[in-house]
Amino acid sequence: MPAKLIDGHVVSQALLGNVKKKVALLKKQGVAPKLAVVLAGNSPASELYVEKKKKACEELGIAFELVRFGENVSEQELVEAVQALDERDDVHAILVQLPLPKGIDRFAVLDEISPEKDADGFSSVNLGLLDHGNESIVSCTALGILRLVESTGAKIEGSNVCIVNDTIVVGRPLAKLFLNRNATVEICNFYTKDLGAHTRNADILVTAVGKPGLITADMVKPGAVVIDAGIAKSGEKTVGDVDFEAVKKVASFITPVPGGVGPMTIACLAGNVAELAMMQLKA
């Protein structure tokens, strides 16, 4: 039997429905939730991602503000911009679009965001809280991936999970989410020797590298849940890390690229914005 497709557009609808309810409740109490995004540089991919976030916010009734800088922006300018946004009462959530231009210490910028306004969950405080099992605000992509796995009904407790990514965007927070659910987790990266020896043991396999064809059918355990968060161009076509046509004959569930993780990332971001506004209302 070919793998069942995990449609991120479908799974995200329940999350978006909850966000709409929270936004409506906030507005009844006189709060208009607002996300501010800091974008530095001239990356076409970053431009696209920010535009998608803006569109989602507008559809959900969340106010959106973009603060844009060129490639030659200084670290101090970004720090001051984030500080100014953080001090504003009308801004409930702040996101610094990664990657930042070369030479800028991302944590010097990210840690200027108060944990109570950290839309992406990348500040040192929120990453540390996740270590202690506090999942109030978590990386949008990592949380989206977890929700996709949960949507399959696959058992996470006691399962072997392999994550081919070790960043703060995906691998590190996602590993903690799975560990919190009593899975056995292995993280692989660029330096991992014999990648297939690790992926073949995984009941749940997540990859987010951006290298087409990285994961082939012989690298996947029969019946595994495969989540492809990689994104790259192959000619005019957008593809992930997984050899989709071959791997779908081996896996039990698989995400498409595009249409899998992407919609969930946006939905979880909107959820974080609404949650942060709620937390500030109750403070």
Q: Which of 120, 167, 131, 141 is nearest to 227 (CA)?
A: 141
Alpha helices per DSSP H over the chain: 8-28, 44-60, 75-86, 106-110, 124-131, 140-151, 171-179, 195-199, 244-247, 261-282
Looking at the DSSP bridge assignments, the partners of residue 93 are: 35
pLDDT tens-digit series, residues 9-56: 999 999 999 999 999 999 999 999 999 999 999 998 899 999 999 999
Task: Enumerate residues 6+ apart whose C-beta is below 8 A from 265.
Answer: 140, 141, 144
Dist CA 162 CA 186 (whole Å): 5
Query: What is the pLDDT at residue 72?
Result: 96
Dist CA 64 CA 183 (whole Å): 37
* Identical topology for domains 31-120 and 139-262: yes
Query: What is the pLDDT at residue 66?
Result: 98
**Dihedral-angle region of residue 77 (phi above 0 means left; psi in -120 to 50 means alpha; beta otherwise):** alpha
The confidence band for 115, taking pLDDT boundaries of 50, 70 and 90, is: very high
Mean model confidence pLDDT for the chain: 96
| CATH H superfamily, domain 31-120 | Leucine Dehydrogenase, chain A, domain 1 (3.40.50.10860)
pLDDT at residue 117 greater than cutoff 90 = yes
pLDDT at residue 275 greater than cutoff 90 = yes
Q: Among all residues, which ones are annotated catalytic?
A: 53, 97, 120
pLDDT at residue 236 greater than cutoff 90 = no
Dist CA 162 CA 204 (whole Å): 6
What residue has token string 């060129």?
70
The confidence band for 234, taking pLDDT boundaries of 50, 70 and 90, is: confident
**Rg (alpha carbons) of the chain, rounded to whole number:** 19
Domain parsing of the chain, residue ranges: 31-120, 139-262
The confidence band for 225, taking pLDDT boundaries of 50, 70 and 90, is: very high
Can you read off the two tokens belonging to residue 116? 């109570």
| Segment 100-128 mean pLDDT | 96
HSE toward the beta carbon, residue 78, CA cutoff 13 A: 30
Query: What is the pLDDT at residue 201?
Result: 98
| CB 16, CB 3: distance < 8 Å | no
192-196 CB contacts, 8 Å cutoff, 24+ apart: 192/164, 195/164, 195/219
pLDDT at residue 199 greater than cutoff 90 = yes
Can you read off the two tokens belonging to residue 104? 């800028």
Other CB atoms within 10 Å distance of the CB of residue 253: 21
Dist CA 66 CA 271 (whole Å): 19
Can you read off the two tokens belonging to residue 223? 């019946």
Q: Which of 215, 214, 135 is nearest to 174 (CA)?
A: 135
Q: What's the CATH class of domain 139-262? A: alpha beta
Query: What is the pLDDT at residue 1?
Result: 82
| Segment 219-227 mean pLDDT | 98
Dist CA 237 CA 110 (whole Å): 33
Query: What is the pLDDT at residue 161?
Result: 98
Dist CA 190 CA 183 (whole Å): 23
| Segment 99-119 mean pLDDT | 97
